[in-house]
Each structure stands twice: as structure tokens, then as C-alpha cells.
């Protein structure tokens, strides 16, 4: 999935659930602004981008803002997050839960969130 850059392509979740939810392996998301997820915490965190039990995905050059969580990796391995901005999210900018195996976080910026990475 390739957008036309964060200034030109916005996915707006309308305040309900996850905005982008990835549930299969080998998905790339590049060049989007992703905003307005729902505001639910446990048990199912609402997120700008959620990678759920999926491997070898790449999120690149995205702005995930004004969500509950910016980017959420759940039980996922061998994913890459590169050059993303996560700001003004209610909870963490980036959260990895059960996702400690071989994930690469490169040059991401998290500002003004409820938590960092």
C-alpha cells in the first residue's frame, strides 16, 4: 500500500477501532498520514497501525497521529518500522507486545504521546 506522501494522503479512522490493521505477512505501508483511531485500551488497543500476529511487514515514512496508539505490534516478528512519526497519541507512540523477535525500529520519532516506545 503506497500513499502519495504524508502531506497528500490521509487515512482517517473516524474515531472507531484500528485505522489500518495488518493480519497477514509481507505487507508494506508507505507514505500515509494515519489519524483518528478509536480510543479503547485493553483488551484490544485501538491504533493508527496495528500489525497483529504478522511477520516481515514494513511501515515506512508514515505519520500516525491523534490515535490511541500510534503503531502497535502484537505477537509479531521480523517487521521493520522506519522513518515514521508518531505524535499526539493518547497512549504510546509505538508499542511492541509479545513482539521482541527481530523487529527493527529505525529513525522513528515519537513526540507528545502518553508514552514513547
Question: Considering all CA atoms of the chain, what is the largest pairwise distance in Å, rounded to the nearest integer?
Answer: 34
Q: In the chain, pLDDT over 70 holds for what percent of residues?
A: 95
Q: Please, which pLDDT band fits residue 6 given cuts at 50, 70 and 90?
A: low
Q: 84 near 111, Cβ under 8 Å?
A: no
Average of pLDDT values for 12-20?
A: 96
Query: SS3 sequence, 38-64?
Result: CCCCCCCCCEEEEEECCCCCEEECCEE
Q: What is the pTM of this model?
A: 0.93
Enumerate residues 6+ apart whose C-beta is below 8 A from 18: 37, 38, 46, 47, 48, 49, 50
Residue 31: band (very low, low, confident or very high) from pLDDT cuts 50, 70, 90: very high
Residue 7 DSSP symbol: T
CA 65 to CA 103: how far, in whole Å?
21
Amino acid at each position: 500500500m503506497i500513499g502519495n506522501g504524508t502531506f497528500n494522503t490521509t487515512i482517517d479512522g473516524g474515531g472507531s477501532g484500528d485505522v489500518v490493521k495488518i493480519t497477514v505477512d509481507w505487507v508494506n505501508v508507505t507514505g500515509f498520514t494515519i489519524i483518528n483511531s478509536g480510543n479503547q485500551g485493553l483488551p484490544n488497543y485501538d491504533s493508527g497501525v496495528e500489525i497483529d500476529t504478522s511477520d516481515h511487514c514494513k511501515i515506512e515514512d508514515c505519520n500516525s497521529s491523534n490515535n490511541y496508539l500510534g503503531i502497535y505490534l502484537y505477537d509479531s516478528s521480523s517487521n521493520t518500522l522506519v522513518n515514521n512519526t508518531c505524535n499526539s497519541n493518547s497512549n504510546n507512540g509505538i508499542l511492541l507486545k509479545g513482539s521482541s523477535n527481530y523487529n527493527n525500529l529505525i529513525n522513528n520519532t515519537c513526540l507528545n504521546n502518553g508514552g514513547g516506545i
